[in-house]
Amino acid sequence: MSLNERRPRSDKGLSSWRKHPGKSEMEIAAIVTETTRLRLFAALGPFLAWLYCIAFLAARTDGPIFEDGRYWLPSLMVCYAFSILPMLFTAWVDRRLSDRWWRSLACGLAGFGIAFVLYYGLMHEGPSAAEHAKTFRQDWFYVALVWGLPAVVCAWVMGLTNPRESADVLR
C-alpha cells in the first residue's frame, strides 16, 4: 500500500467516500450536490418567502403588521410549513435544468405557478367565494411572488455555489 492510498482524503464535501464504497468521486460529488440543493431550497426558500410576505404585508397595511410581537415566530413557522413542499418542487426543477442558463427563471415560474394555483383554489371555495374573488383579483400577483422570488434566488445561489452547474450562456 502506497502512502497516497493510506492518507485520508482532504477534499471538502467528498469526505463521505467511505460511506459509499464502490462509488466514483463523480457519483459522490453528485450526491453531495443534491443534498446541498435540498438543504438550500428547504432552509433559504421558506425564510425568503416569509421575508417577502412580511414586506408585502408592510406595503399593503397602514399600521403595524402584528399588534403583538409574539406573532413573528409563529408567522415564520406557518410560512415554513406552507412553503417547504413548493420549495422542494422548485429544487427538483432546478436539478432537472441544472445545465441550462435559464434555470433560475424556470424555477421562478414554477414557484409563481404553484402559488397562483393554490391561492386561486383557496380564494374560490366556500360560502364567501364571491367576496374572496375580489381579494384574489387585487393580490394574486403579490401572493404568487412570495414563492416565485425565493425560487429564483435559491436557484441562483445554487448556481453560484456549484461551479460545475453554471452553464454557459451560449449553449
DSSP assignment of 55-123, as one string?
A: HHHHHH-SS-S-SSGGGHHHHHHHHHHHHHHHHHHHHHHHHHTTT-TTHHHHHHHHHHHHHHHHHHHHH
pLDDT band at 5 (very low <50, low <70, confident <90, very high): low
Q: List, for residues 98-126, the tens digit of each pLDDT value.
A: 888 899 999 999 999 998 898 888 787 77
CA distances from 85 to 111, 119, 134, 159 (A): 10, 15, 27, 21
Provide the grid cell at 56. 408585502
pLDDT band at 17 (very low <50, low <70, confident <90, very high): very low
* Residue scoring higher pLDDT (45 or 168): 45
Provide the grid cell at 80. 415554513
Q: List, for residues 48-74, the tens digit of each pLDDT value.
A: 999 998 888 888 888 787 777 788 888
Q: What pLDDT, on a 0 to 100 scale, did the predictor assign at position 169?
A: 42
